[in-house]
Structure 1
């Protein structure tokens, strides 16, 4: 199972982690990224840093990064290389990272680790929507390939709603960025994991996330792992069930033994919802 939750450090990140990190200054994120990537090098991963107008030597002052870059274990790229294709086809850069990961493994690395300041790609609402779709697609790939990633969002250049709508598509998010997460898993048969809290504010985030993730029915059902869901109100629950119903499918919720959601479902008597306690 992938790690998920709210984090106050990126130290100790492992393969399949996908972190949303909200930062206050670009230099703060560069330093954090350097630690994140150096840790990846120590784990045998190839690493990549992405930033708007980044120089190849951007992180060479960090011990070990310059030498790793010169031998091909590390790289720095300008974020603009992905800017043109994202609105037209959000899946294209996701596929590109999978190919890069596969090449890294073929070259003898244990996987690929990427840190990117993506703020410039999401300042426009339309591009933010395309990027949110990309976030789900790359998260699905991260759950199934030896990919590790950290996406950085500048708090001072983005509004809180935009940040939350993007943060909630990550299994790991910095504290205060979003109250909930809806993300991918490699668990067989599970369409997505829903975690955190869905309250009055969270309902709009849940609606946004549901429009951007691929909840494809299997055998007439969409199975959601909600064992890390700490709270959901009845309107949030109906939002999820009605979205899945719109796909012509029934909802299956995997719940923790002590989940209060089971009591809520018993009160609502929804005919097309099945509960699995685990």
Structure 2
């Protein structure tokens, strides 16, 4: 992360890679305490039974009272993600949307989750489904009062596997070069960081998993946070545009992408240079 808080984004969706369980629990306590202080309902979702999850929150102020009031809920990971070994992305979003609605109806100001999801992403098939879910829930959270930290154990997952997950979040504590996440306003997607030869295949996979759809024949991407993009990633954008019979509109503060698009003769990609 970029600060001591679990998330500093406007709508709060962060990827936390960890290798120290004690440090993870401290992050969970801080994240959930902030939610309780804001009047939100908060969930800890992690492997183990409810007693073991409660012990992980020994240092959470007012833990027992919050549990009695159901302001705090402790859910074994298999109870929160009930769609077999491979998560069903759409069903899982609907489940969290329902939980948010219930929290608001009960008088809470919002809904906050700290989820340790390593067991759900060990295989290639699991990660393919879960990264799709990460983008769908990111889009939903962008416009609803839910926030989440998604934690993944470096001791069990490779750096390449974690990179697949981290790049689908607006915030992460990993060293990944780029992030693809939900956009605001007219932009369907926002891109940040750098797209270079080292990660263009990961970008192609992320773009396929997010699968942003055009509106009225245009797919607007906010790339003002993108410091660099090479021709390979622009070609991936062109391929995506053709698959959806649309024009990709790449909004950026840099002029170099426009020159590349012209040199590559990418008729399906248009660059708009904005201040």
Q: Say what the alpha-carbon RMSD is for the aligned residues.
A: 1.8
- Residue equivalent to 1:131: 130
- Residue equivalent to 1:76: 74
1:162 aligns with 2:184: no
Q: How many angstroms apart in 1 are the aligned matches of 2:24 and 2:255?
A: 37
Indicate if the aligned counterparts of 1:191 and 1:224 stay in contact, CA closer than 8 A: yes
Q: How many angstroms apart in 1 are the aligned matches of 2:244 and 2:17?
A: 34
Indicate if the aligned counterparts of 2:9 and 2:170 stay in contact, CA closer than 8 A: no
Indicate if the aligned counterparts of 2:178 and 2:194 stay in contact, CA closer than 8 A: yes
Shift of 1:12: 6.3
Indicate if the aligned counterparts of 1:86 and 1:93 stay in contact, CA closer than 8 A: no
Structure 2 portions without partners, runs of 5+: none
Q: Structure 1 residues 261, 54: closer, same or farther in 2, change over 3 A?
A: farther
- Residue equivalent to 1:183: 181
Q: How many angstroms apart in 2 are the aligned matches of 1:142 and 1:154?
A: 24
Indicate if the aligned counterparts of 1:198 and 1:233 stay in contact, CA closer than 8 A: yes
Indicate if the aligned counterparts of 2:89 and 2:133 stay in contact, CA closer than 8 A: yes
Indicate if the aligned counterparts of 2:6 and 2:31 stay in contact, CA closer than 8 A: yes
Q: Structure 1 residues 47, 168: closer, same or farther in 2, change over 3 A?
A: same
Q: Structure 1 residues 11, 131: closer, same or farther in 2, change over 3 A?
A: closer
- Residue equivalent to 2:240: 243
1:29 partner SS: helix
> For residues 193-204 of structure 1, what are the structure 2 equivalents within 5 Å?
193-204=190-201
Q: TM (normalized to structure 1)?
A: 0.91
Indicate if the aligned counterparts of 1:46 and 1:104 stay in contact, CA closer than 8 A: yes
1:119-165: CA deviation from partner (whole Å, max 9, x where unpaired) = 11111211111111111111111111101100001111101111001
Structure 1 portions without partners, runs of 5+: 1-5
Indicate if the aligned counterparts of 1:83 and 1:121 stay in contact, CA closer than 8 A: no
> For residues 1-278 of structure 1, what are the structure 2 equivalents within 5 Å?
7-11=2-6, 13=8, 16-56=11-51, 57-58=54-55, 59-81=57-79, 82-85=81-84, 87=86, 89-176=88-175, 178-187=176-185, 189-256=186-253, 258-278=254-274
Q: How many angstroms apart in 1 are the aligned matches of 2:127 and 2:9?
A: 27
- Comparing 75-84 with 263-272, greater Cα deviation is found at 263-272
Shift of 1:185: 2.4
Count of equivalent residues: 270
1:5-50: CA deviation from partner (whole Å, max 9, x where unpaired) = x525325646611000110122221110110110111111111000
Shift of 1:104: 1.0
Q: TM (normalized to structure 2)?
A: 0.91
Q: How many angstroms apart in 2 are the aligned matches of 1:120 and 1:88?
A: 11
Q: How many angstroms apart in 1 are the aligned matches of 2:85 and 2:223?
A: 30
Moved over 4 A (4+): none
- Comparing 213-222 with 225-234, greater Cα deviation is found at 213-222
Shift of 1:269: 3.7
Q: Structure 1 residues 259, 165: closer, same or farther in 2, change over 3 A?
A: farther
Q: Structure 1 residues 15, 53: closer, same or farther in 2, change over 3 A?
A: farther
